[in-house]
Structure 1
Amino acid sequence: MTAQPALRPERPFFSSGPTAKPPGWSADQLDTKSLGRSHRSKYAKGRLKYAIDLSRELLGVPDDYLVGIMPGSDTGALECAMWTMLGAGPATVAAWESFGNIWIQDAVKQLKLKDLTPLSADYGEIPDLASIPQDHDVVFTWNGTTSGAKIPNTDWLEPGRKGITINDATSAVFAMEMDWPKLDATTYSWQKIMGSEAQHGMLILSPKAVERIESYDPEWPLPKLFRLKKGDKLNRAIFEGATINTPSMLAVEDYIWALEWAKSIGGLSAMIERANTNSGIVKDWIEATPWLRNMASDPALQTNSGVCMVFQGEWYESLSDEDKAAVPKKIATKLEEMDIGYDFNGYRDAPPGLRIWCGGSVEAEDIRRLLPWIEWAYEELKAGNL
């Protein structure tokens, strides 16, 4: 019987969303003066604008881009971009994991785009992005949250391309550099890299995206939550803190706290460095562990946020498909029961495996302490003790 490891993670939070709160977080540190107030009051609107301005500053968003708070998390922000901008010309929707496939289904079944090219790849792979025509609008996921595969670069997007780019960056922004000049609509949620609360998303628009919105009216009806225009012009108040619907000011204050924390440790570069360090620990461990492999086999595609891994080896391959699927779940369940690590089982629609969140709100030492426990649980499972 393998001995249990001596050290336990101090913060056993490894979920890929909502992710771990930043170190030092506590609810009593949040500014609560905006609670119980109208979100349109001067103070509350000022806090919403501050969240927007601080996001812009930390991410290095160009001055002529607009940044706004949207309802419905990253999903709401991304679908708003699709519903308001697609259909003006040919489009390609690229997918290589669960959420990208949802955007394909939106384009096919909901918007029913007439000139659409779905472009997909298996989990851990990336489709041939260079094959996308430059006159196509393109929807893509910068980082596959459920596959651990990211785009290797933006060389496939030519400067000044005719089509617009809609970028789902929810598990990439604040962990990877964004190539803003090539991005027209970028979305993310507070609950990913920043470890904040869910239900609110961000929409970042280039001047080219604004021009598309103002010059184009889609043929389908737009729900109120997707209506960005006032008359024939973009409602720029949305990008100054006047949200489309009522936000949770408590969630806003939580996001502000996380942004201020990120700024205090060195901003975007520090957040990227923390994610690189954390993911490097996990990747090196996978390489040294014969019964695991990274779901993304190409190192150039391997994420630094939600690292996904699958099992291999003689014992694992001897199992039935049902028993194979149960391996990661049993390991994750056992360690959750022991308060060693929470929520690091793979995504329900992905191939069976484990997924360890490595974003900047996670401490490297906690990851180092988790990994021997996974090894212990694996050996216990092989021995029939789990």
Structure 2
Amino acid sequence: MTAQGITKPVHRPARPWFSSGPCAKRPGWSLEALQNALLGRSHRSQEGRARLGEVIDRSAKLLGVPEGWKVGIVPASDTGAVELLLWSLGGQAGHGVDVLAFETFSATWAKDLENELALEDVRVFSAPQGQLPNLAAIDWSRDVVLTWNGTTSGVCLPGLDSVPPRHDGLVLCDATSAAFAMDLPWERLDAVTWSWQKALGGEAAHGMVALSPRAVARLEEGAPRPLPKIFRLTKPAANPTPGRPAQLNEAIFKGDTINTPSMLCVEDALDGLKWAEAIGGLRALKQRVQNNFKTIQDWVAQRDWVEFLVKNPQERSCTSVCLEVTAPWFKDLCKEAQTKAIKAMTALLATEKAGYDVAAHRDSPPGLRIWCGATVDQPDIEALLPWLDWAFAEVAATLRHGQNSQDASS
């Protein structure tokens, strides 16, 4: 079967999961990995706390979180973790906030700071999908809220020097599709969030926060507003002072979570962490990501119908890889028709069991998004790419046939 001279591929990915969240499970995963899950037991039991503490300790060690930082598990995935930081720290003690908004979630953080928290001194630096705002315009004497890697746009901060080594304000970093996949400048950040469902293929609904001593000190200055229970990281200080009415609730950072976690998900998170350690830690994870990304990079360079959405190579994400279709006939379509063409293309891939969930995020221009995190095997990326060529050619031929039929009838 051919379309525009492209033969239907025969070889399929062994694991055709390329969703950008929840992401592919680690290679070799099966339900057997969860057989020792602490089911039917309280997460506040000695054994439950121990496993939650193990997730915290292994995560901190694998990521290279500095000594003196506090790492904890919080509710509601990365969204909950970021919102917790915004509501707990945003606008505290009159601190102005600069926020970068260049993809769906970072734009949400900006809207929440402006509209929900109604902070008086917020500056939003925006950019269209596929671009970064002007980083030189940021005032690092203020608090800064940034997303390290834009999951929905495929834009990544260009390097560790994106944040200056010295800054007077706090830097709050959403790192959910960067953690466990690329380097983070921990010594230049103050509070970092991520989730279990991204780079290590964990299950949803659990977020994590890492707090520097500076962030902890700010929290202990007291909450700037009433907070719901699931956002509270502090408790009244045993010996309060005018500048320190609260103290960090240390139990949260030892496995005593604010709300009830899924011990099934905890077991799965531990499985992912142990796998990462066994293959060589963060260095090995990053190498797998780079190998996956280079495979797509080389493929795009040889195609005339697809390009990276992000034009600056230094700003391209190596995990959530976003592509746009550049074929003239596709560009001539209205956005609605482009979206339908992409849906038809991805439906073909799913029907053939060649690739699942590779459409661009709904807020991005119609195109493709392929997760290249470490839990994805490079041979599966290699096997997917010919199917993309074939599915695109199939959709192009179908649309062209429909146009020809319409022309003939008229």
**TM-score, structure 2 as length reference:** 0.92
How far did 1:156 drift? 4.2
Aligned partners of 2:278, 2:304: CA distance in 1, in Å? 40
Counterpart check, 1:29 vs 2:43? no
How far did 1:327 drift? 2.1
Counterpart check, 1:317 vs 2:322? no
Matches within 5 A, 1:175-214: 175-214=181-220
Equivalent position of 2:135 in the other structure: 129
> What are structure 1's unaligned runs of at least 5 residues?
none
Letter in 2 for 1:50: E
Equivalent position of 1:101 in the other structure: 107
Aligned partner (choices 105, 108, 123) of residue 117 of structure 1: 123
**In structure 2, do the counterparts of structure 1 residues 216 and 162 end up closer, same or farther at CA, with 3 Å as the change threshold?**
farther
How far did 1:33 drift? 4.8
Matches within 5 A, 1:163-312: 163-218=169-224, 220-231=225-236, 232-312=246-326
Paired positions, count: 385
Q: Secondary structure at 1:119's aligned position in 2?
A: strand
Equivalent position of 2:360 in the other structure: 346
How far did 1:30 drift? 2.0
Equivalent position of 2:89 in the other structure: 85
Letter in 2 for 1:222: L
Q: Secondary structure at 1:383's aligned position in 2?
A: helix
Quote the sequence identity (%): 46
Range moving further from structure 2, 277-286 or 66-75:
277-286
Aligned partners of 1:259, 1:33: CA distance in 2, in Å? 15
Q: Report runs of 4+ in structure 1 exceeding 3 Å deviation.
A: none
Aligned partner (choices 158, 161, 170) of residue 164 of structure 2: 158
2:182–2:286 CA contact under 8 A, matched in 1? yes
How far did 1:225 drift? 0.5
Aligned partners of 1:105, 1:33: CA distance in 2, in Å? 39
**TM-score, structure 1 as length reference:** 0.98
Superimposed CA distance per residue, residues 8-65 of structure 1 (whole angstroms, 9 cap, x where no aligned partner): 1111100000000000111112253521111000011000000100001100111110
Equivalent position of 2:370 in the other structure: 356
How far did 1:349 drift? 1.1
> What are structure 2's unaligned runs of at least 5 residues?
237-245, 402-410
**In structure 2, do the counterparts of structure 1 residues 33 and 297 end up closer, same or farther at CA, with 3 Å as the change threshold?**
closer
Counterpart check, 1:6 vs 2:20? no
2:37–2:267 CA contact under 8 A, matched in 1? no
Aligned partners of 1:375, 1:255: CA distance in 2, in Å? 35
Letter in 2 for 1:135: S
Aligned partners of 1:349, 1:47: CA distance in 2, in Å? 38
Larger Rg: 2
Superimposed CA distance per residue, residues 154-196 of structure 1 (whole angstroms, 9 cap, x where no aligned partner): 4343223110000000000111111001111100000000001
RMSD over equivalenced CA pairs, Å? 1.2
Aligned partners of 2:105, 2:323: CA distance in 1, in Å? 18
